[in-house]
């Protein structure tokens, strides 16, 4: 099988590429703006890489969509700070660029495995989010953070419409807060644009305060990347065609904690780390308002817990890595990568 991964150097992209090359005889064709995470793959004869931009290298992309069996477009802006700072940039990349890829998959009758997001559920009040039943609820227009959720939701609807009319074979997967090695770099965290786990770890490393937005009562379910890739590999294998035209949550409902609990757990794990247990000072944990931290266009999501019954039934999949182990492995990897 030939797999095209756009955004191959990203967090999911490089972990998925490594797993494919280690566990299968498939070939991977990948594009990204850089290749710093691809050290395990770059010299593999079954890995073909182009350093490029999906907004520029359109002929290369179309050629490889025609050439490959499965297309995985992972290119997106996926950090809340940027939803507020650059909503038009989010729309241009996350929606318009990806829509062209979807249309080419339709044109050349290629299977697309598309990364939706847990954010499409928005402010859904359900205790667990069900792929085919839960309402997708977003906030008012002036809260610009919702543009990411809306872009992804509309692409989900477009892909689904093509699929139900027989023009496209697809699987939509919805990651719930995947974490692990090489999630974000220290440079990104210094800018305040990384995801919450790596942002907190970076603050601990730099001895800066950990800021809890509106007290940190928001709850998330953290999924270790190896578990997520296990599920994604089963989707790609698509045994008995069971994933055809399905939407599948990939998350760990047992790894739920509040952002405040997350901060205190990461601080404890950092203080236990062999290189830092003897440090004389550690980051304090402080509260800040959402408007001060993100700006007026921000609005938070206070719960995000997946139902994984469909993944269990269709894929025979269950996440295995618990919350503390997931956080410890992510923290240790971040420190090894950046110290």
Checking if the pLDDT of 153 tops 80, the result is yes
Average pLDDT, the chain: 95
- The answer, yes or no, to whether residue 289 has pLDDT greater than 90, is no
Pick 288 or 111 by higher pLDDT. Answer: 111
* Out of 44-58, 81-95, 193-207, 293-307, least confident range: 293-307
CA distance 319 to 100: 33
Share of the chain above pLDDT 90, in %: 88
Residue 33, pLDDT score: 96
Average of per-residue pLDDT across 216-226: 96
| pLDDT computed for residue 193 by the predictor | 65
Quick check: 148 and 81 in contact, CB under 8 A?
A: no
- pLDDT at position 282, please? 96
CA distance 317 to 307: 13
Decide if 70 contacts 110 (C-beta within 8 A).
yes
Place 192 in a pLDDT band, splitting at 50, 70 and 90.
Answer: low
Please report the pLDDT score of residue 233 as a whole number: 98
Mention the CATH class of domain 76-179+223-251+305-320. alpha beta
pLDDT attached to residue 23: 97
What pLDDT is recorded for position 191? 64
pLDDT, residue 293, reads 78
Beta carbons of 152 and 117 less than 8 angstroms apart: yes
Pairing of strands 219-221, 256-258: antiparallel
Q: Check whether 208 has a pLDDT greater than 70.
A: yes
Q: What is the pLDDT of residue 95?
A: 97
Q: Hey, which bits of the chain come out as E strands?
A: 2-6, 27-32, 47-51, 70-73, 111-115, 170-175, 178-179, 210-213, 219-221, 223-224, 246-250, 256-258, 285-288
- Res. 147: pLDDT tops 90: yes
Q: What is the pLDDT of residue 79?
A: 84
When pLDDT is cut at 50, 70 and 90, the band that residue 290 belongs to is: confident
């Amino acid at each position: 099988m030939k797999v095209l991964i756009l955004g191959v150097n990203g967090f999911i992209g490089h972990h998925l590429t490594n797993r494919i090359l280690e566990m299968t005889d498939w070939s991977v064709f990948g594009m990204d703006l850089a290749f710093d995470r691809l050290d395990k793959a770059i010299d593999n004869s079954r890995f073909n890489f182009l350093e490029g931009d999906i907004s520029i290298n359109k002929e290369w992309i179309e050629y490889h969509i025609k050439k490959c069996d499965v297309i995985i477009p992972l290119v997106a802006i996926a950090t809340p700070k940027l939803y507020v700072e650059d909503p038009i940039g989010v729309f241009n990349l996350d929606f318009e660029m990806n829509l062209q890829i979807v249309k080419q998959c339709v044109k050349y009758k290629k299977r697309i495995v598309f990364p939706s997001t847990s954010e499409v559920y928005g402010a859904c009040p359900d205790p667990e989010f069900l792929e085919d039943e839960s309402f997708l609820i977003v906030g008012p227009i002036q809260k610009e953070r919702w543009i990411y959720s809306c872009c992804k939701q509309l692409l989900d609807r477009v892909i689904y419409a093509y699929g139900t009319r027989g023009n496209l074979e697809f699987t939509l997967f919805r990651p719930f807060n995947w974490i692990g090695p090489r999630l974000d770099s220290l440079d990104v965290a210094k800018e305040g644009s990384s995801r919450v786990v790596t942002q907190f770890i970076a603050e601990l490393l730099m001895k800066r305060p950990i800021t809890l937005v509106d007290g940190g009562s928001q709850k998330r379910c953290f999924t270790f990347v190896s578990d997520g890739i296990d599920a994604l590999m089963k989707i790609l294998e698509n045994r008995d065609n069971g994933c055809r035209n399905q939407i599948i949550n990939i998350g760990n409902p047992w790894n739920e904690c509040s952002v405040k609990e997350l901060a205190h757990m990461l601080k404890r794990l950092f203080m236990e780390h062999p290189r830092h247990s003897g440090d004389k000072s550690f980051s304090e944990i402080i509260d800040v308002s959402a408007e001060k931290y993100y700006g007026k266009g921000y609005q938070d999501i206070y719960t995000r817990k997946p139902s994984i019954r469909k993944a269990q039934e269709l894929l025979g999949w269950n996440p295995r890595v618990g919350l503390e182990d997931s956080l410890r492995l992510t923290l240790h990897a971040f420190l090894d990568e950046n110290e």
